[in-house]
């Protein structure tokens, strides 16, 4: 009898244990499922961290939200501008093989006290280089001479762009380039291009300013988990005065005791767009980084939104 009681107790204990274990595993698979459901609902759009002033790219690397564009800056002017940026705490520099100033950018970085890993350099290869993209990538690496490249873009669409992008993908595999992307690609171009490549671009850099806002393109790109980076935020050289003097922008600037340039850059940041305004003036470079201590209201964002007139200044 005693023996049967012992056997029954052991069986009961075993049954309770099994029920507990099953309910435990059901719980964890439910959690996994619900995590999956949530991530399905979440927006893929990259989120800015206004504390660290960075955005995390889909490649896992962090990109500063504000920096310096170097188009039309050459030799000492470029060197001095990059040096001023780094001294002021700026860490994002935008160059291109086409600008002919990668050597000056690299020299300023090497001469600075800022550790290489804190600096983020974007460069681009031009369509005329797409017939030998591997050679073009090596040439950028040589001219910059800063070890690796943080972000390399195809400068704009052209013959052989898919093959050139595949060469960028290989450069990522080889550790020569951290992140890759495109410039001057819009919705139709992206729809055709993306199915042909293996690595989703981390960044798309396009012309964006209050008179050319790309209201459909920006959210389309962001929803793909790709960071949007503007170029020519002030309309580009030769077009800046009209934007700076625009009544709406100037009045918002006055209300915040900042400049029109700062309002335009802040408007970009609040749309989740990375900014690299071009400048060779140390005062402007400092001013263009000082855009994190004020915030545009929804009403002000809306007012700037009404300024869009589809006015593109670059030819592509
Ligand atoms: N991917 C592409 O196809 C592409 C095309 C164009 C440009 N980009 C990139 O985007 C960057 C920016 O575009 P961008 O240089 O053409 O045009 P931008 O940034 O719209 O305008 C540059 C002009 O704004 C002036 N400026 C800058 N900061 C100012 C401030 N705080 N107050 C008053 N004036 C100010 C500059 O003069 P000062 O020198 O006197 O400051 C310069 O004349 C380029 O440098 C380049 O890196 C890329």
Per-residue pLDDT, 315: 80
Residue 297 has pLDDT above 80, yes or no: yes
Q: Is 210 in the pocket of ligand 1 (CB under 6 A)?
A: no
Decide the pairing of beta strands 92-94 and 273-274. unpaired
Residue whose CA lies nearest to ligand 1 atom number 4: 231
The whole-model pTM stands at: 0.88
Distance in Å, CA 197 to ligand 1 centroid: 31
Residue 90 beta carbon below 6 angstroms from any ligand 1 atom? no
The predicted model gives 31-44 an average pLDDT of 44
Cβ distance 159 to 123 under 8 Å? no
Residue 212 has pLDDT above 90, yes or no: yes
Residue 137 has pLDDT above 50, yes or no: yes
**Where in the sequence numbering do the catalytic residues fall?**
99
The answer to the question of residue 195 being in a domain is yes
Which residue matches tokens 């020569």? Answer: 176
Report whether pLDDT(29) > 60.
no
Nearest atom, ligand 1, residue 316 CA: 3
Whether 277 is covered by a domain: the verdict is yes
Burial environment of residue 209 by CB neighbours within 10 A (0 to 12, 13 to 18, 19 or more): buried
Report the separation in Å between the CA atom of 68 and the middle of ligand 1, taken as the mean of its atom positions: 8
d(CA 314, CA 296): 28
> What per-residue confidence (pLDDT) applies to 241?
97
Whether residue 27 has pLDDT greater than 50: no
Q: Say if residue 31's pLDDT is above 70.
A: no
**H helix intervals, the chain:** 2-41, 75-87, 102-111, 133-144, 161-173, 187-193, 217-223, 240-245, 247-256, 260-270, 282-289, 298-305
34 has a pLDDT exceeding 90: no
The answer to whether the CB of 235 falls within 8 A of the CB of 209 is: yes
The range of the structural domain enclosing residue 215 comes to 48-305
**What's the pLDDT band for 37 if we cut at 50, 70, 90?**
very low
Q: What percent of the chain has pLDDT over 90?
A: 84
Q: Which atom of ligand 1 sits closest to the CA of residue 287?
A: 31
Q: Which pLDDT does position 42 carry in this prediction?
A: 67
Rounded mean pLDDT of 136-148?
A: 98
Answer yes or no: is 14 within a domain: no
Residue 238 lies in a domain: yes
Domain CATH code at residue 281: 3.20.20.100
Question: Pairing relation of β-strands 62-64 and 54-56?
Answer: antiparallel
Ligand 1 pocket test, candidate residues 76, 253, 277, most atoms within 8 A of CB: 277
pLDDT tens per residue across span 44-90: 889 999 999 999 999 999 999 999 999 999 999 999 999 999 999 99
Report the mean per-residue pLDDT for the chain. Answer: 90
Task: Note the pLDDT of residue 2.
Answer: 53
Please give the distance, rounded to the nearest whole angstrom, from the Cα atom of residue 104 to the centre of ligand 1: 17
Q: What is the pLDDT of residue 154?
A: 98
Q: Are 228 and 218 in contact (CB under 8 A)?
A: yes
| Structure confidence by residue, pLDDT tens digits, 148-205 | 999 999 999 999 999 999 999 999 999 999 999 999 999 999 999 999 999 999 999 9
> Does 9 reside within a domain?
no
Does residue 245 surpass a pLDDT of 70?
Answer: yes
In a domain, 60, yes or no: yes
User: How many domains are contained in the chain?
Assistant: 1
93 vs 261: CA distance, rounded Å: 18
| 157 pocket-lining for ligand 1 (C-beta < 6 Å) | no
- Residue 35 lies inside a defined structural domain of this protein: no
- Which residue's CA lies nearest to atom 21 of ligand 1? 236
Q: What is the pLDDT, as a whole number, of residue 4?
A: 52
Distance from the alpha carbon of residue 239 to the mean position of ligand 1, in angstroms: 10
Using 50, 70 and 90 to split pLDDT, how confident is the model at 132? Answer: very high
pLDDT value at 28 more than 60: no
In the prediction, which pLDDT does 291 show? 98
Whether 200 is in a domain gets the answer yes
């Amino acid at each position: 009898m005693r023996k049967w009681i012992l056997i029954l107790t052991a069986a009961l204990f075993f049954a309770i244990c099994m029920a507990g274990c099953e309910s435990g595993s059901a719980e964890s698979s439910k959690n996994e499922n619900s995590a999956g459901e949530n991530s399905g609902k979440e927006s893929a759009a990259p989120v800015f961290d206004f504390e660290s002033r960075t955005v995390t790219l889909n490649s896992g690397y962090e990109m500063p939200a504000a920096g310096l564009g170097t188009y039309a800056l050459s030799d000492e002017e470029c060197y001095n501008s990059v040096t001023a940026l780094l001294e002021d705490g700026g860490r994002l520099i935008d160059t291109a093989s086409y600008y002919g100033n990668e050597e000056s950018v690299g020299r300023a970085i090497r001469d600075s006290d800022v550790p290489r890993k804190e600096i983020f350099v974007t460069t681009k290869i031009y369509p005329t280089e797409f017939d030998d993209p591997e050679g073009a990538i090596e040439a950028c690496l040589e001219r910059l001479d800063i070890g690796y490249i943080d972000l390399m873009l195809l400068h704009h669409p052209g013959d052989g762009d898919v093959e050139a992008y595949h060469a960028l993908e290989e450069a990522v595999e080889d550790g020569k380039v951290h992140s890759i992307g495109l410039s001057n690609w819009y919705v139709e171009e992206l729809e055709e291009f993306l199915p042909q490549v293996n690595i989703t671009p981390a960044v798309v850099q396009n012309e964006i300013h209050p008179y050319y806002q790309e209201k459909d393109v920006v959210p389309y790109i962001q929803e793909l988990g790709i960071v949007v980076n503007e170029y020519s935020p002030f309309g580009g050289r030769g077009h800046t005065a009209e934007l700076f003097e625009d009544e709406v922008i100037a009045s918002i600037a006055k209300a915040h005791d900042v400049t029109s340039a700062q309002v335009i850059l802040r408007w970009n940041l609040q749309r989740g767009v990375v900014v690299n305004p071009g400048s060779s003036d140390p005062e402007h470079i400092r001013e263009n980084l000082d855009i994190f201590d004020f915030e545009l209201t929804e009403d002000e964002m809306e007012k700037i939104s009404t300024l869009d007139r589809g006015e593109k200044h670059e030819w592509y």
